[in-house]
Structure 1
Amino acid sequence: MRLLNLPADREGRFVERVNRFLIRVRLSPGEWVEVHLHDPGRLPDLLTPGRRVLLRHAAHSRRKTQWDLLAFRKKDYWCFCHSGYHRGVAEALLRGTHPFGPFEELRPEPGVGEGRLDFLLQGPAGELWLEVKGVTWARDRVGLFPDAPTLRGLRHLRLLTELLDSDRRAGLLFLVFRREVEEVRAAAEVDPDFAEALARALDKGLAARAAVLSYDGKALYLERFVPVRA
């Protein structure tokens, strides 16, 4: 199922990560560019010098960097790595497949207390508060999140748990960009607090879904859903 058209403009080779949001890419011999990396994670098995990457021209010409990183080549596929598109991909997925059940209204960025989540779905079963996370790390066909300690992710899980404690429905959607993944788990060795919070939320009734997605350099597609385990 096609979810989002997003053609890449150029292929290059990853050279190095300059800082959290900036990498250097070689386009051709003697031609190097700085590229915006819209993923604050560690990307432990993707940031390898010489790895093929796909780039897209930046939408705003006044930006410091004129390129965005879209994907890294992993084995025989492209691993999409631009979290700025997660919300659009998730919305297309929700509208096209209803993984949390049917709904009549989808509201982005609803406020919850002093925080915000990604979506509020309103349907026949009532409201469902939803957060979306991207998975770009895998080991032995297990998708792992997070790949770096995430206070933001922990806050989101606590918000979802508070909603469950007040007898409201809450969900978590993992967008998995590793095609080999057969299940998703919390990376307890990276962030034990997040892992504990996820297990607690699942025990309380959190609706968790994980969608494996593919990217061919032109568009993002839904491949299948896989289980989320504590």
Structure 2
Amino acid sequence: MEFSPQLKQATLIKRYKRFLADVITPSGEELTLHCPNTGAMTGCATPGDTVWYSTSDNPTRKYPNTWEMTQTQNGEFICVNTLRANTVTKEALESETIAELMGYTTIKSEVKYGAERSRIDFMLQADCKVNCYIEVKSVTLSQQGCGYFPDAVSLRGQKHLRELMNVVSQGERAVLLFAVLHSGITQVSPARHVDAKYAQLLCEAQQCGVEIIAYKAELSDKGLSLTSPLPVCLI
């Protein structure tokens, strides 16, 4: 996906109240941005980092500017807008960039399913194939080149793993896709040090037949797209 219009640049002062961030533009103007990320954003919100933001023309928005990308002080790009993970995943599914998910003719988004009243990010369908349920998770927590998920305790993520295991038990296909939106990440692992229960459930899900894959995005202030697979290490 390409950012249109082009993103604007600023320097991060601070993030606060989870959904807000103060920045200063190159001209010296201070702005408050909407931060579309409910996670801890560890390593993604260091004061002094470069922030790239979009601007909405909706006159009813209290905060018209949205934090999209961080460019760290060592040059790494991170997409902090978690909504973009589904956008680039859908583009990759449509272009059949993800080798493991080729050969389907229909892509449905936000389909209701499961005993716990969930919505699957994508459901793929094709003649002579079982339905394929795909849950997408955005990975931005990086430590020494390894990406970790989640970056905060995620009861919602735990629920999604239980739902995917149930999908497999019913004879359908279930896939957990880690969309890696950090240029410095080279592999993905569950964040046991953050959410031990999630890590346990992820291992159980794989043993039950849930497929776990990771694809890395190519990122810049111009846009982003999923391009290449990364290894997933559960041990």
Q: Is the TM value for this pair above 0.5?
A: yes
Deviation digits for residues 107-135 of structure 1 (CA, Å, limit 9, x no counterpart): 11111132211011112432111100101
The secondary structure found in structure 2 opposite 1:5 is coil
What CA distance in whole angstroms lies between the structure 2 residues aligned with 1:189 and 1:70? Answer: 27
User: 1:175·1:213 contact (CA, 8 Å) conserved in 2?
Assistant: yes
The residue that corresponds to 2:107 in the other structure is 106
Alignment partner of 1:140 out of 129, 139, 144: 144
The residue that corresponds to 1:161 in the other structure is 165
User: 1:79·1:214 contact (CA, 8 Å) conserved in 2?
Assistant: no
The residue that corresponds to 1:205 in the other structure is 209
Deviation at 1:139, TM superposition (A): 1.2
Q: Looking at both structures, which has the greater relative contact order when contacts are Cα pairs under 8 Å and sequence separation is at least 6?
A: 1
The secondary structure found in structure 2 opposite 1:147 is coil
What does residue range 210-229 of structure 1 map to in structure 2 within 5 Å? Answer: 210-229=214-233
Deviation digits for residues 35-87 of structure 1 (CA, Å, limit 9, x no counterpart): 01111111111211111110110252211101000111132232111112222
User: 1:51·1:73 contact (CA, 8 Å) conserved in 2?
Assistant: yes
Deviation at 1:195, TM superposition (A): 0.6
The secondary structure found in structure 2 opposite 1:117 is strand
Deviation at 1:180, TM superposition (A): 2.6
Deviation digits for residues 174-204 of structure 1 (CA, Å, limit 9, x no counterpart): 1101223221111011011111111100111
Amino acid at match of 1:112: Y
The residue that corresponds to 1:71 in the other structure is 69
User: 1:184·1:228 contact (CA, 8 Å) conserved in 2?
Assistant: yes
The residue that corresponds to 1:173 in the other structure is 177
Q: Say which is worse superposed, 97-106 or 153-162, in terms of deviation.
A: 97-106
What CA distance in whole angstroms lies between the structure 1 residues aligned with 2:15 and 2:101? Answer: 37
What CA distance in whole angstroms lies between the structure 2 residues aligned with 1:188 and 1:21? Answer: 26
Structure 2 regions of 5+ residues with no counterpart? Answer: none
Deviation at 1:153, TM superposition (A): 1.0
Superposed structure 1 runs of 4+ greater than 4 Å apart: none
Q: Say which is worse superposed, 220-229 or 168-177, in terms of deviation.
A: 220-229
Deviation digits for residues 130-180 of structure 1 (CA, Å, limit 9, x no counterpart): 100101111122110010111111111110011112222100111101223
Structure 1 regions of 5+ residues with no counterpart? Answer: none
- TM normalised by structure 1 equals 0.93
Deviation at 1:209, TM superposition (A): 1.5
What CA distance in whole angstroms lies between the structure 2 residues aligned with 1:168 and 1:59? Answer: 43
Amino acid at match of 1:58: S
- Equivalent residues, number: 227
Q: Say which is worse superposed, 123-132 or 151-160, in terms of deviation.
A: 123-132
Alignment partner of 1:6 out of 3, 6, 11: 3
The residue that corresponds to 1:116 in the other structure is 119
Aligned-residue Cα RMSD (Å) equals 1.5
* Structure richer in strand, relative to its length: 1
Amino acid at match of 1:224: S
Amino acid at match of 2:229: F
User: 2:41·2:140 contact (CA, 8 Å) conserved in 1?
Assistant: yes
